[in-house]
Amino acid sequence: MENDVGEVLISQEQIREKTKELGRRIAQDYEGKNPLLICVLKGGLMFLADLMREIHMPLEIDFMAVSSYGDATESSGVVRILMDLERNIRGRHVLIVEDIIDTGRTLNYIIENLHTRGPASIKVCTLLDKPARRLLDIPLDYVGFEIPDRFVIGYGLDFGEIYRNLPFVGVLKPELYS
């Protein structure tokens, strides 16, 4: 698997340090609020697991699974909810935890959907931000790393459901998906 990586963009240690920093900021910002972290599956799972260990306060988690990619390397623009939340979010302080924000279409859909459920607030935490591909202007409250417009894998990000378990974020060799 690691032979398929053309370049390591963000190391395991860089991710660890940034996650600690984000956890401290989130704990300060949500002091006394018992936030509900909503992980967008599957890509956000590794980030959520590490991030929640760095938020030293009471919190709850829930999960959503959405699809806009299928097996492609670019979003289709059609977003479908594959798995919805178990918890009622009315009056809750919600923090959406994402692996990567690309065009913004998926995140925009999720935010609009969650707003209809009456939360007290909605904020976004993403490990990776790829602004070069952004089609919709969406405020991101907590950003780990801004990355260039390259196809990345690892640390939850996949290509055809493979590579999620790499401990770093790397660039997939183009000949493997072209």
Residues identified as active-site:
102
CA distances from 34 to 16, 60, 66, 151 (A): 23, 7, 25, 35
| Closest to 165 in 3D by CA, of 4, 55, 38 | 4
| Closest to 79 in 3D by CA, of 111, 106, 99 | 106
CA distances from 174 to 6, 109, 112, 153, 170 (A): 8, 29, 34, 12, 12
List b or e across 40-51, with b for residues whose CB sees 16 or more CB atoms inside 10 angstroms: bbbbbbbbbebb
Tokens 């070069």 label which residue? 132
What's the rounded Cα separation, in Å, for the pair 155 and 14? Answer: 12
Its sign, for the CA torsion 64, 53, 122, 78, is negative
